[in-house]
Amino acid sequence: MAAKAHSTATLRLSVGSLRIAHPITVPSGPVPATEILPALQGLVNAVVAAAEQGQAISCRKGCGACCRQLVPVSRTEGERLLELVRALPPRRREALAGRFAAAEAAIETAGLGERRGRSDRDLSTAYFALGVPCPFLEEESCSIHPDRPLICREYLVTSPPERCASPTQEGVAPLAVPKVSMAARGLQDEADDWFPLAMLMAWARSRPRKAARRTGPEWVQRFLGRLGIK
């Protein structure tokens, strides 16, 4: 089978106060949106690296306090995560399914499975108070670190790590990172839709199955368009 052709370009972006020049490579032909996620992960990594310059980040492997927060995930990232889960060895998949079922039960029991007119802020506060660990968290470390969602990459703190476990989040100083991840929402469908990462399997049961195919450069254009960059 012939190798897929790829297109490469250097993106020069102004995001917030940051100036980024980042090379990006995507499939040249029509593909589902999930296939450009590696390129978007690289872009978010570059934005975060620029924001980190001169800052002392206190996040360390083994500290998963922030992995009990509500992590909003877009359809495209949800589809990629499902592919990732399907490729895991059966025993890991089984253990993960158990953690997802436990998280879903806790969230549903607390009445947080639906937004029900709550603001995103109220929902996030109630969710964090529940203390449900992300099902991908193993021994307080992310078990899918290279593939973690875009928004997880953007959350870093400069304050002492122990403050992150406090329900009030008092004294937590997140690094100021432009939230490029937001542009992944509605990348396929225009609607600014998302679901909590811990509800991935619940979302999978009713998710839309029809997926558009566009060329890699077209997907990137749409993503940048959602950031207000033409």
- Contacts to ligand SF4 by CB under 6 A: 67, 71, 134, 136-137, 142, 144, 148-149, 152
For residue 90, the SS3 value is helix
**Structure token digits, residue 152:** 């997880």
In the complex, minimum distance from the CB of residue 190 to ligand SF4, in angstroms, rounded to a whole number: 26
Q: Which is nearer to ligand SF4, 95 or 142 (CB)?
A: 142
From its phi and psi, is residue 128 left (phi > 0), alpha (psi between -120 and 50) or beta?
A: alpha
Q: Which burial class, exposed, middle or buried, applies to 182 when counting CB atoms under 10 A from its CB (0-12, 13-18, 19+)?
A: middle
Q: Which is nearer to ligand SF4, 143 or 159 (CB)?
A: 143
Q: How far apart are CA 61 and CA 24, in angstroms?
A: 28
Residue type, 199: M
In the complex, minimum distance from the CB of residue 78 to ligand SF4, in angstroms, rounded to a whole number: 12
Name the nearest CA neighbour of 137 among 148, 129, 128: 148
In the complex, minimum distance from the CB of residue 213 to ligand SF4, in angstroms, rounded to a whole number: 27
In the complex, minimum distance from the CB of residue 114 to ligand SF4, in angstroms, rounded to a whole number: 21
CA distances from 147 to 35, 37, 110, 224 (A): 13, 9, 29, 21
In the complex, minimum distance from the CB of residue 226 to ligand SF4, in angstroms, rounded to a whole number: 21
Q: Which is nearer to ligand SF4, 130 or 144 (CB)?
A: 144
Q: Which is nearer to ligand SF4, 136 or 219 (CB)?
A: 136
Q: Which is nearer to ligand SF4, 39 or 132 (CB)?
A: 132
Q: Which is nearer to ligand SF4, 134 or 184 (CB)?
A: 134
In the complex, minimum distance from the CB of residue 230 to ligand SF4, in angstroms, rounded to a whole number: 31
Q: Which burial class, exposed, middle or buried, applies to 83 when counting CB atoms under 10 A from its CB (0-12, 13-18, 19+)?
A: exposed
Q: Which is nearer to ligand SF4, 27 or 127 (CB)?
A: 127
Q: How far apart are CA 136 and CA 157, in angstroms?
A: 20
In the complex, minimum distance from the CB of residue 67 to ligand SF4, in angstroms, rounded to a whole number: 3
Under a CB-based contact definition with an 8 Å cutoff, are residues 65 and 163 in contact?
A: no
Q: Provide CB contacts within 8 A for 74, sequence distance 6+.
A: 184, 185, 186, 187, 193, 194
